[in-house]
Amino acid sequence: MRRIVPTFLYVCSISANSSAITCVNVVHMATKHEWTALDYASQQAAAKIIADSRYSYRAISALMSSAVSHVRISDIEKVRKAPIKLSKFLLLCQACEVDPVVTLKEIIESANTNPNAHLKVETPDE
Protein backbone atom coordinates (compact mmCIF):
# COMPACT_ATOMS: atom_id res chain seq x y z
CA MET A 1 0.00 0.00 0.00
CA ARG A 2 1.27 3.45 -0.90
CA ARG A 3 0.31 6.80 0.57
CA ILE A 4 0.47 10.13 -1.25
CA VAL A 5 1.74 13.00 0.88
CA PRO A 6 1.31 16.45 -0.66
CA THR A 7 4.07 18.94 0.04
CA PHE A 8 4.94 22.36 -1.33
CA LEU A 9 5.43 21.86 -5.08
CA TYR A 10 6.21 18.17 -4.55
CA VAL A 11 4.12 15.02 -4.28
CA CYS A 12 5.85 12.26 -2.38
CA SER A 13 4.94 8.59 -2.46
CA ILE A 14 5.89 6.48 0.56
CA SER A 15 5.99 2.72 0.24
CA ALA A 16 4.05 0.50 2.70
CA ASN A 17 7.15 -0.51 4.64
CA SER A 18 8.38 3.11 4.65
CA SER A 19 11.69 2.06 3.18
CA ALA A 20 11.37 4.07 -0.03
CA ILE A 21 10.23 7.61 -0.60
CA THR A 22 9.81 8.93 -4.11
CA CYS A 23 9.15 12.64 -4.66
CA VAL A 24 8.07 14.26 -7.89
CA ASN A 25 8.19 17.98 -8.56
CA VAL A 26 4.71 19.20 -9.49
CA VAL A 27 4.33 22.40 -11.46
CA HIS A 28 0.82 23.83 -11.73
CA MET A 29 0.41 25.62 -15.02
CA ALA A 30 -2.34 28.15 -15.43
CA THR A 31 -4.82 27.25 -18.10
CA LYS A 32 -5.29 29.73 -20.90
CA HIS A 33 -8.53 31.68 -20.62
CA GLU A 34 -10.67 31.67 -23.73
CA TRP A 35 -11.85 35.21 -24.28
CA THR A 36 -15.55 35.82 -24.88
CA ALA A 37 -17.27 38.71 -26.61
CA LEU A 38 -17.83 40.24 -23.16
CA ASP A 39 -14.11 39.97 -22.38
CA TYR A 40 -13.19 41.80 -25.57
CA ALA A 41 -15.85 44.45 -25.05
CA SER A 42 -14.64 44.95 -21.46
CA GLN A 43 -11.06 45.28 -22.65
CA GLN A 44 -12.04 47.86 -25.26
CA ALA A 45 -13.98 49.84 -22.66
CA ALA A 46 -11.08 49.66 -20.18
CA ALA A 47 -8.60 50.73 -22.88
CA LYS A 48 -10.83 53.71 -23.72
CA ILE A 49 -11.10 54.68 -20.04
CA ILE A 50 -7.31 54.46 -19.66
CA ALA A 51 -6.65 56.49 -22.83
CA ASP A 52 -9.32 59.11 -22.11
CA SER A 53 -8.04 59.63 -18.56
CA ARG A 54 -4.68 60.82 -19.94
CA TYR A 55 -3.06 59.40 -16.80
CA SER A 56 0.03 57.23 -16.91
CA TYR A 57 -0.24 53.59 -15.88
CA ARG A 58 1.60 54.41 -12.66
CA ALA A 59 -0.77 57.29 -11.89
CA ILE A 60 -3.82 55.07 -12.46
CA SER A 61 -2.28 52.40 -10.24
CA ALA A 62 -1.72 54.99 -7.51
CA LEU A 63 -5.31 56.22 -7.86
CA MET A 64 -6.40 52.60 -7.37
CA SER A 65 -4.34 52.44 -4.14
CA SER A 66 -1.95 50.07 -5.94
CA ALA A 67 -4.62 47.34 -5.98
CA VAL A 68 -3.64 46.88 -9.63
CA SER A 69 -0.03 47.27 -10.72
CA HIS A 70 0.94 49.60 -13.53
CA VAL A 71 2.14 46.54 -15.47
CA ARG A 72 -1.29 44.89 -15.18
CA ILE A 73 -2.97 48.12 -16.32
CA SER A 74 -0.74 48.03 -19.40
CA ASP A 75 -1.63 44.34 -19.94
CA ILE A 76 -5.34 45.16 -19.75
CA GLU A 77 -5.03 47.97 -22.28
CA LYS A 78 -2.92 45.91 -24.69
CA VAL A 79 -5.00 42.69 -24.46
CA ARG A 80 -2.29 40.64 -22.76
CA LYS A 81 -2.92 37.82 -20.33
CA ALA A 82 -6.33 37.44 -18.66
CA PRO A 83 -9.35 39.71 -19.13
CA ILE A 84 -10.05 42.39 -16.55
CA LYS A 85 -11.94 41.26 -13.43
CA LEU A 86 -15.11 43.08 -12.47
CA SER A 87 -13.61 44.30 -9.19
CA LYS A 88 -10.61 45.79 -11.01
CA PHE A 89 -12.88 47.29 -13.65
CA LEU A 90 -14.90 49.04 -10.95
CA LEU A 91 -11.71 50.37 -9.35
CA LEU A 92 -10.56 51.63 -12.74
CA CYS A 93 -13.88 53.44 -13.26
CA GLN A 94 -13.63 55.00 -9.81
CA ALA A 95 -10.02 56.08 -10.32
CA CYS A 96 -10.75 57.65 -13.71
CA GLU A 97 -14.10 59.13 -12.64
CA VAL A 98 -16.18 57.14 -15.13
CA ASP A 99 -19.73 55.93 -14.40
CA PRO A 100 -19.43 52.11 -14.22
CA VAL A 101 -23.17 51.52 -14.75
CA VAL A 102 -23.24 53.38 -18.06
CA THR A 103 -20.01 51.69 -19.11
CA LEU A 104 -21.27 48.20 -18.25
CA LYS A 105 -24.41 48.79 -20.32
CA GLU A 106 -22.18 49.84 -23.22
CA ILE A 107 -20.07 46.70 -22.78
CA ILE A 108 -23.13 44.43 -22.88
CA GLU A 109 -24.50 46.24 -25.95
CA SER A 110 -21.12 46.00 -27.69
CA ALA A 111 -20.79 42.29 -26.90
CA ASN A 112 -24.29 41.60 -28.24
CA THR A 113 -23.74 43.50 -31.49
CA ASN A 114 -20.39 41.83 -32.18
CA PRO A 115 -20.97 39.50 -35.16
CA ASN A 116 -18.39 37.03 -33.82
CA ALA A 117 -19.91 36.92 -30.35
CA HIS A 118 -20.70 33.41 -29.22
CA LEU A 119 -22.07 34.62 -25.92
CA LYS A 120 -25.22 36.69 -25.81
CA VAL A 121 -25.96 38.56 -22.61
CA GLU A 122 -29.45 39.15 -21.35
CA THR A 123 -30.17 42.69 -20.20
CA PRO A 124 -33.02 43.25 -17.74
CA ASP A 125 -35.94 45.40 -18.84
CA GLU A 126 -35.82 48.86 -17.35
Asked whether residue 18 is domain-assigned, the answer is yes
pLDDT in tens, 109-126: 998 887 565 445 555 554
Alpha carbon distance 31, 87 (integer Å): 21
From the list 110, 89, 111, the residue with the least C-alpha distance to 101 is 89
Asked whether residue 59 is domain-assigned, the answer is yes
Whether pLDDT at 48 is above 90: yes
Q: Are residues 56 and 84 in the same domain?
A: yes
Mean pLDDT score, 6-30 = 52
- Domain with 9, as residue range(s), is 1-30
Look at residue 81 in the predicted model and tell me its pLDDT: 87
The rounded mean pLDDT for the chain is 78
Number of domains in the chain: 2
Q: Are residues 78 and 55 in the same domain?
A: yes
**What is the pTM for the complete model shown?**
0.66
Give every CB contact of residue 104 below 8 A, 6+ residues apart in sequence. Answer: none
Asked whether residue 74 is domain-assigned, the answer is yes
